[in-house]
Structure 1
């Protein structure tokens, strides 16, 4: 699960087309890794790129249904732009 805590595409369009009028794009997500473990699966959360491969291998080795939650900074709205850059362009 890739989790940046927002509806990113909607937020990007709101920032670009309606500056200063961002509405209803923040999410209150559960702890997806804890949810997987609660149901008897394997769950891990990663926040650094370097931590993903080992977490993925542990998930595969567990032989259980698995969730690896990847938490991303919501500021990084696209691979090449940030929310701040979108705001500053206007």
Structure 2
């Protein structure tokens, strides 16, 4: 339950990089926008996929449930798009 695993977002104009976050910080130098951060019972978020459902983008991921002895579970959040095309979650 002490996992620091998390989802971070970066992008690049080239598949070979460099990848940066929304502030321009390189991913290899600690950059990356957190999406979503673990909170409360949601520990170690990761293993994510994005899908389109009824006109909205959804982030699906697994997390460990701290209220259920760390049992892995499925989490979903609607993706929103900030200025410049960067994702955020509700």
Q: TM-score, normalised by structure 2?
A: 0.21
**Bigger RCO (CA 8 Å, 6+ sep):** 1
Q: Which has the higher helix share?
A: 1
